[in-house]
Structures are given as structure tokens and as C-alpha cells.
Structure 1
Amino acid sequence: MQGNRNENPHRRRLDTPQPIRYRSPMAALGGPSLSWSNVADLIRLRNQTGSLLLLFPTLWALVLAGDGHPPLPLTAIFVAGVFVMRSAGVTINDLWDRDLDRRVHRTRERPLASGRMQPGAAVAVFLALIGIAASLVFLLNPFTIALSPIALLLAVLYPLAKRVLPLPQAILGAAFGYDTIYSLQDLDDDQRIDVHSAALLFGTWAWVAVGSALSSMVAVLGLVGLATGLAWPFYVTLLLTGVLFAWQARRIKHPVAPAQAFALFKQHVWAGALILLGIWSGALLR
């Protein structure tokens, strides 16, 4: 008995028949809801269409300002910032919309809407992303730093705008990108749950609104090309982009299924890449 009394207690714990369980580092931060898989779904890690749509206009500006040779460190900061802020934007969107998302077929399986992640865990992810974004912003000039709170405010306000404004895409356009085509996916659900969208506002005239917005974009880009002296390759790519946009506007003149609307939306990634190619080649040849 004396031998058992002096036995090392640590040894007894190791000899227990119960298996030793190891916890994920993410579980220590926020419980099971803050798993890597849930965070990946929350920030749309498996779907980077939105990041690319935000990235290409950023690269347009950098290539133009850099005369075809944007500084690599500056480009790296902006590329990282695009991914981080897009992730923060969809996170705050899901936080505001979690109750609505449960009622929409396309969004009901998102981590917050489905209950796989708790709101507190999503807030922790959002604050971490904003912290990373702030550290990137402070690497830039004072004017950019001063503008950054405005960009953050717009990102936070968009989910609320769809509850109040008849055209919430106007706020989204200032913060990210105008997306009437994207909103066509949720036309029936938005009407049922009584939230606003450009697709609902314009109705059967959505194709006119989209065509007008895209035509204005092409016209403004053409003026930018003239003002900066871009060479002929830019105008070739701009013409091809204009043809794509005209086809898209004509395509949505008639009802489209949600999958078709999303396919049209994703085509803008290729349009962004084409314009970038035109700006880069036009800047090098001017």
C-alpha cells in the first residue's frame, strides 16, 4: 500500500483508460464554432470571385500611376488589402444579415445563418481582419490613411442600406462594385422577405439600368485612356469589353435563372482582366 501511496500521480493520469483529447488552437479562441472550416466559409475562401472583382480595378489604378511598372511592395500591400477587406466585408454582411440569410435559399447554409458559427466568433474574425487591414494601411501615405475610415464605413453600412434604401447597390458600388446582375439571383426571395435591391427597383427595366451603368463605365475608361495617353491596345480591349457588356445587357432583357445570373456576374472577372491587359500594354507602348 505504501508503494501505491508514493506512486507518481502524473504516471497514474497517463495510464488512465480514457483517451487523451487534443483541442484545436481555434477551439481555444472561440469554441467549436470558430473552426478553420467555418472561418473559411465565412470569408468565402473557396469563392474568390469577389476578391478578383475588387482586385482588378485596384491594379488598373496602380498600373496607370506606375506608368506600366507599379512598385512591387506597393502592389503587394494592395493585393493583401483587397483580400483582407473583402473578407471583412462579407463577414460584417453575414453578421447583419444572419436572420435574413436563413430565409434565402442561396444563403441559408452560411455559417451564421445555419448556426454553425456564433455571432461572437464572427465578430472576433471581423476585428482580426480589420486589425490586419489597419496594419497595411499604416504602410501607406497620410492621405490614404485619412480616407480609410470612409471605406470601412461604407463596407459596414451596405447591409443596413438594403433595409432602408430602394437602391442599396449605390452604397455597394461606392464601397466595392455595382451588382444589379448579382442581385437577380435573389429576386424572388428579396421580394418575399421585403428587402430592397436594384433588381426589384428596376424590374423589367433592369437590362436598361445595367446597360446604362456599363456604358458609362466604358465611356469613363475611354476618357481616362485619352487623358493619360494610353496607346491603341487599350482601346482594342475596351471595345471587346464593351461588346461583352452589350451582350450581357441584352441577355438579361429576358428572365434569367439564378445560376445564369451568377455566371454573368463571374464574367466580369474576365472583363477586369482584359481591361488590365489593355491598360498595361497601352501604358508600355505610349
Structure 2
Amino acid sequence: MSTETETQTQTSSSTVEATPDSAMPAWLVSLPETAQPYVSLARIDRPVGIWLLYLPCLMGLFQMRIPTGLQWIDIVWVVLFLIGAVVMRGAGCTWNDIRDRDLDAKVARTAARPIPSGAVSLQQAYLFLAAQLGVGFLIWLFLPGDAKIIALLAIPLVAAYPYMKRVTWWPQAWLGFTFNFGALVGAATAASITGANVLLYLGLVLWTIAYDTIYALQDREDDALIGVRSTARLFDDKVLTATFMFQLGATMLIFLGAWFAGAGRIGAVLALAFLAHSIWQMIRLAPDREKHALSVFKSNVWAGAFLVAGFFLAAIV
């Protein structure tokens, strides 16, 4: 989730032109034509969302390993979390596209998606969703008991997410609580959920509000026309100030989560790296918010990687 998307949408009697951003990477183009729409529906061709779902799982796991050190079983969890992130992110995108198919057809950036473009029928989308959930269920079976319960608690949040943009100006907050459940699942897999882990989770929620607000900058004009709500619209001209405030809050909570988990000075270093990246994002966005929104959004994978590296280093040191 490459250049900025600039698809053009006209009336239902018109065709939708895909731009380079909506085109698949070369390695996916070699797939059978029948498979390509499903790859797009699951957003496998845009892996940023997979990383942003996967990295909190590792943060929670490594954070809870700080007092005891890493264990060999953690290699298994790292692999299973990755598989789970791929299929559950894909399932979430599929569900979101099913519920948003009418709205997506009216937004330039999303009109070429498989369901509104007709590449995948509604029935086929439901079958594909069921298949992804089936794989996710197999991963769920391997989790420890407490982690199983925590993972189940995320399902209502995922199911309700597509409706949030219709009823609240804060769908980004809902996404934050939903997308970062992996930090709680990772902690419950390693040991148990603690106050330090809750602080980390809340910090990641603020981080998600920030990066998804940046992502939503691409759609502000279309969203205003069709009545879709977002924090990008809510904050209007103050959007960069508000976004940076969320990043500051995220930095503080993540630092406290690392500190109380026993990360010590390493926690301070990872918080500073995270904050420095946040400042860079604001500088990058300042000249032209919409033009740079997608590339800045994607850069948050590196922000998450900084955090994972910090918690990993603290766990082995």
C-alpha cells in the first residue's frame, strides 16, 4: 500500500483507468489473470498494511521478553504472526471492500478496486473472505489460551470498522484500537498483558491515528463530496499540527511502555528515533500534503521497524 494514486472516475457508463499506483508489481503480474483480482482484493500487492499489522505483534512479544530474554519458541511465533498478519489483513480489506463497494465507486483512488470495477463479484468476495478466515483460524489454534481470547476480542472491532466513517469523524481512532491488537496478542503469547503493554498499545493507537490521518489526506475532496468522515477532514487546515500532537503522544506512551517493561536507556533511544521520524514526516508533508501523503504514510513501516528493533535489542541485552 510506487507513486501516488490518481485514478479517474466518471459515471457508471464510463470506464475507470488504472494509473501506475493501481498497477501490480512485476512479480505479481506473472500470476494467472484469474488470481490477480484476489491479490488486489487482499492488498498483497500493497504490503504496507501487512507490516503495520505485523510489527505491533512483534513489539508486544519482544516487550514481554525483556525481563526473561528471547526463547527458541519465539521463532515459531514470529512466523505464525507473519502468516496471520497477511491473511487477516487481507480478510479485513476484503470485508471493508464488500461493505464500502458503493462508496469506493465514487472515490477516484478506490474506483478501480476489484469489487466496484466488477473484476470480482460480491459472491466471489464472500467466498474469498471465508477462505482467508479459515487460514486465520488455523493460526489461531496454535496460540496459547490467553492469546486466543485476546485475538477473539478484536473480531467485533474489525467487523464494525467499515461503518465508522459513516457515523463518526474518528474512524482513524477505531482503526487504531483494531489494528494494534497484535501488541496485546504478542504480549499474551509471551507471558501476560501488563500495564507496560497497555501503555505500548495505547501509544500505537495514537500512532495509527496519525499515520491513517496522513493516508486520508489523499481522499479529502472526494470524501467531502460523498459525506465520508475522517480526521483528515475534521482537522482541516490544522491537520499537520493535530497529527504531530498524536505522534508526540504516541512517543511518550511508547517510551513509558518500554521503560516500565525494563528497556532502560534503549527505550529512550527508540523513542527518540521514533520522534525524529515523526518530525521528518511533518517536514515532508508541509510543502504539499496531498502530493506526499502516500509516500509519507508508507514510511511509517520504518517507524515501526525502529520500535521492533529497540524492543528486540532490549530483550537480548
TM-score by length of 1: 0.82
Residue 232 of structure 1 contacts residue 282 of structure 1 at CA under 8 Å; is this kept in 2? no
1:3 is matched with which residue?
A: none
Matching residue's letter, 1:248: Q
Structure 2 vs 1, CA of residues 98 and 136 (structure 1 numbering), >3 Å: closer, same or farther?
Answer: same
Distance 1:58 1:148 in 2: 11
Correspondence 1:166 to 2:169: yes
Q: Which has the larger radius of gyration?
A: 1
Correspondence 1:223 to 2:222: no
Distance 2:148 2:160 in 1: 20
Q: What are the within-5 Å matches in structure 2 for residues 33-72 of structure 1? A: 35-67=34-66, 68-70=69-71, 71-72=74-75
Q: What are the within-5 Å matches in structure 2 for residues 109-258 of structure 1? A: 109-176=112-179, 177-178=208-209, 179-252=212-285, 255-258=288-291
Q: CA deviation at 1:45?
A: 1.3
1:276 is matched with which residue?
A: 308
Q: CA deviation at 1:282?
A: 2.4
Residue 51 of structure 1 contacts residue 86 of structure 1 at CA under 8 Å; is this kept in 2? yes
1:73 to 72, 76, 79: 76
2:98 is matched with which residue?
A: 95
Q: Please, which moves more after superposition, 149-158 or 268-277?
A: 149-158
Q: CA deviation at 1:254?
A: 5.7
Q: What are the within-5 Å matches in structure 2 for residues 13-32 of structure 1? A: none
Distance 1:196 1:147 in 2: 29
Distance 2:283 2:236 in 1: 15
Q: CA deviation at 1:204?
A: 1.1
Distance 1:186 1:211 in 2: 20
1:85 to 79, 84, 88: 88
Structure 2 vs 1, CA of residues 146 and 275 (structure 1 numbering), >3 Å: closer, same or farther?
Answer: closer
Q: CA deviation at 1:102?
A: 1.0
RMSD: 1.8
Q: CA deviation at 1:237?
A: 3.0
Distance 1:116 1:241 in 2: 40
TM-score by length of 2: 0.75
Provide Cα deviations, 1:24-67, integer angstroms capped at 9, x if missing partner: xxxxxxxxxx9211111111111101001111111111112233
Percentage of identical aligned residues: 32
Distance 1:59 1:138 in 2: 19
Q: Please, which moves more after superposition, 181-190 or 271-280?
A: 271-280
Distance 2:151 2:312 in 1: 27
Aligned pairs, how many? 251
Q: Any stretches of 5+ residues in structure 1 without a counterpart?
A: 1-33
